[in-house]
Amino acid sequence: LWTQARERLPCTTILLSNRKYKILIGEYENVGATPGPTAMGMLDLSNPDLDWVRLATGMGVEAARATTLEQCADLMRQSFRQNGPFLIELMI
């Protein structure tokens, strides 16, 4: 994000935010493992929540959060009119 801001890159980043390391949870399931509370706690990214909008803004990238695909589409249209980078945090 910082490089996007520094170079004023006209790009849109869409971050699919599920607040968990879901891919690793899926890997546990694939091998038949049942992770305990400690392991599951390490795969949880919600305490504290990562605020991607504020993180992006702090690096100089305009950003917004979408909770629906319609909001995401609106933000994408908005971002395409920008001369610099834009981050969309899509909550899933």
Q: Output the domain CATH number for residue 76.
A: 3.40.50.970
Residues 26-65 pLDDT 10s:
888 899 988 888 888 888 888 888 899 999 999 999 999 9
pTM, two decimals, is 0.81
What is the domain extent for residue 61?
2-91
Give the H or E element holding residue 81.
none
Give every CB contact of residue 48 below 8 A, 6+ residues apart in sequence: none
Give every CB contact of residue 65 below 8 A, 6+ residues apart in sequence: 52, 53, 88, 89, 90, 91
- Total domain count for the chain? 1
